[in-house]
Structure 1
């Protein structure tokens, strides 16, 4: 029962009176949060460049951000960066891990009874081709980078008879594409 003289609020009236102001307040708070973060970044950057800034208005923050981004964009166009050199340590670790994994697969196929020998041979050939490709890619990358001396004697290591069976010689690599 409604009290005399009191009217119920419709959904539209409720939205206009209650929900919309709350949503607008949240939107403004979010904008101010990110403007404060931008301000902190700008102040830190300007301090690093030797400029002191005491107070920035919102328009100043946006203006300085746009100017900074434009300068960065022009710098990228004027001085394009070459791709970073291959990280030799990571490549060595990857190759060592790959070789160890291939050895483990070979060990499993040789010790577990009932596994298909033809499939195992095919799998080991594929692993060997991939290892060969990794080594060729590493060698070609080193030849492109004349800044670092290449010592192939350090990179070679003795192979066990099992590993020599892994790497086939002179066969084409099968690829699924």
Structure 2
């Protein structure tokens, strides 16, 4: 082999088709690795759900048991509607509590445009999830008061927030037990 032919081989770049041929085994290996990792996670979940001691399960067994486990979960939710209703009520209660916190925050923000704050609260109120058995009551029954006029728009100056809202401290204590949807 001459120096000229070696230099010619170094300059030669593989074509797109050749690159795909080279990458295909790597991509397939990564894909199989992801599948096996997911199957291992499913295996751990299924073993825990069915309380099995078998550490050696075939992939088909893992998938079948996963399907059965998911069907069991769906059947319990269908046959026990109180679970869904209870979760919906907890969500609605948390939503209302969050609305109260937003309202409290808007009352203390002097820089916030009051009409924008009112629009935000109206939007949150319209988006309030409704339960099928009536409305859920919040844990703290502090009514939403209308936002006072903005001092920048010619309204009167408000007293400091601690004088205006004595129940604000008690609602902060309740935040520790507040359910949040995230």
TM-score (norm 2): 0.47
Superposition TM-score, scaled by structure 1 size:
0.48
